[in-house]
């Protein structure tokens, strides 16, 4: 299939690599040219503007930082929807349901099908072939493109015809943010009473509260390695989106509001670009450890 991938950050680049390995005909674009070079060196077409995608592709995939970036690439000057052409836009970014609905409306007006397809996982998960993809949008387009999505990640869920995928993604991330805070509190409580984090995490992993996430983070937490796989800053952003969605529905999310403020504290103390598990050293500092 002819596919344009727009946005070659860590996630976008990994997604493009998966599609390349699956044999799709790729075009790529990124706001900063440096990220495009490795693809050009492999003979992959580089686009000057997002709107050039429809000349070379039947499907455009966007993986961008936030709602503003998606709006600019889709609706801005030389954007996807400012150019002639009809295809399918698949947005895999984590953005607000409100911003997504705006793009959806413009897509409908211009005859471009729109699938919302946020993901669960980080670049290493993409490259390992284990990415989860949550999709909403026109069912016929989903059915037509589901195998292409499985070339990116094997686990694909269809959850509705409008903005449902955005809400599911935000719900998952608020659970992850809250889980990190609870792990940090548990480890600090144990450490204050002389129990090493390695032992605490071993018991956690084997208990009823054990989860793939706990096991996935255990080695890094024991090593006190806060190299980012998903940063505190990004989690703060996603929790803000969850709270926005809750406000739109007149729904209280008190634990999520508190957790977002804790990640705000990480940003304020210089840990915004650390892994989201930076909540642990921050809490240790407050505990005098």
Name the token pair of 22. Answer: 């699956």
271 and 143 in a common domain = no
Name the token pair of 53. Answer: 């995608």
Q: What is the mean pLDDT of the chain?
A: 97
Domain boundary at 161, 181, 207, which? 161
157 and 34 in a common domain = yes
Report the C-alpha gap between 18 and 21 in whole angstroms.
5
91 and 52 in a common domain = yes
**Residue 5 scores a pLDDT above 80:** yes
| Residue 179 φ/ψ, nearest 5 degrees | -65, -45
173 and 78 in a common domain = no
Average pLDDT over residues 257-286: 98
Report the C-alpha gap between 238 and 249 in whole angstroms.
17
271 and 228 in a common domain = yes
216 and 190 in a common domain = yes
209 and 137 in a common domain = no
Report the C-alpha gap between 55 and 61 in whole angstroms.
14
187 and 91 in a common domain = no
Identify the helix (H) or strand (E) that includes residue 45. Answer: strand 45-46
Contact 136, 149 (CB under 8 A): no
83 and 38 in a common domain = yes
CATH number at residue 206: 1.10.1040.10
pLDDT of residue 86: 78
Domain boundary at 161, 195, 230, which? 161
141 and 172 in a common domain = no
How far, in whole angstroms, is CA 106 from its chain's centroid? 23
Q: What stretches of the chain show up as alpha helix (H) in DSSP?
A: 10-21, 37-41, 53-56, 67-75, 97-110, 123-127, 139-152, 164-192, 197-206, 212-223, 232-248, 254-268, 279-286
pLDDT of residue 175: 98
pLDDT of residue 83: 82
Domain boundary at 105, 128, 161, which? 161
Report the C-alpha gap between 107 and 165 in whole angstroms.
17
Nearest to 4 by CA among 38, 64, 49, 54: 54
Cα radius of gyration (the chain)? 20
Name the token pair of 7. Answer: 């946005």
pLDDT tens, position by position, 129-161: 999 999 999 999 999 999 999 999 999 999 999
Name the token pair of 113. Answer: 């099908």
CA distances (Å), origin 170, targets 161, 234, 240, 254: 17, 12, 9, 15
85: pLDDT confidence band, cut at 50, 70 and 90? confident
**Residue 84 scores a pLDDT above 80:** no
pLDDT tens, position by position, 108-120: 999 999 999 999 9
Domain with 200, as residue range(s), is 167-286
CATH number at residue 63: 3.40.50.720
172 and 147 in a common domain = no
196 and 62 in a common domain = no
Q: How many domains are contained in the chain? A: 2
**Residue 9 scores a pLDDT above 80:** yes
pLDDT of residue 162: 98
pLDDT tens, position by position, 158-183: 999 999 999 999 999 999 999 999 99
Average pLDDT over residues 97-109: 96
- Which residues fall within 8 angstroms of residue 149, CB to CB, at 6 or more apart? 90, 117, 133, 135, 156
Q: In residues, how long is the chain?
A: 289
pLDDT tens, position by position, 218-261: 999 999 999 999 999 999 999 999 999 999 999 999 999 999 99
């Amino acid at each position: 299939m002819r596919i344009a991938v727009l946005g070659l950050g860590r996630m976008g680049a990994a997604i493009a690599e998966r599609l390349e390995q699956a044999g799709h005909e790729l075009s790529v674009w990124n706001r900063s040219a440096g990220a495009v070079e490795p693809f050009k060196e492999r003979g992959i077409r580089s686009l000057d503007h997002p709107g050039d995608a429809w000349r070379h592709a039947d499907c455009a995939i966007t993986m961008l930082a936030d709602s503003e970036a998606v709006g600019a690439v889709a609706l801005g000057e030389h954007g996807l929807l400012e150019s002639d052409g009809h295809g399918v836009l698949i947005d895999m970014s984590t953005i607000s349901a409100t911003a997504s609905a705006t793009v959806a409306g413009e897509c409908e007006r211009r005859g471009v099908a729109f699938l919302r397809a946020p993901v669960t996982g980080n670049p290493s998960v993409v490259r390992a072939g284990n990415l989860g993809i949550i999709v909403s949008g026109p069912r016929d387009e989903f059915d037509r493109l589901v195998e292409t999505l499985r070339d990116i990640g094997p686990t694909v869920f269809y959850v509705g015809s409008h903005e449902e995928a955005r809400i599911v993604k935000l719900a998952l991330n608020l659970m992850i943010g809250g889980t990190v805070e609870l792990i940090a509190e548990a480890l600090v409580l144990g450490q204050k009473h002389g129990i090493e984090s390695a032992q605490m995490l071993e018991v956690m992993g084997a208990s009823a509260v054990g989860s793939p996430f706990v096991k996935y983070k255990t080695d890094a937490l024991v090593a006190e390695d806060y190299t980012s796989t998903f940063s505190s800053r990004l989690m703060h952003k996603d929790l803000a989106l969850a709270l926005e969605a809750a406000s739109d529905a007149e729904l209280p999310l008190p634990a999520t509001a508190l957790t977002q403020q804790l990640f705000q504290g990480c940003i304020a103390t210089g840990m915004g670009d650390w892994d989201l598990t930076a909540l642990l050293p921050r809490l240790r500092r407050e505990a005098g450890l």
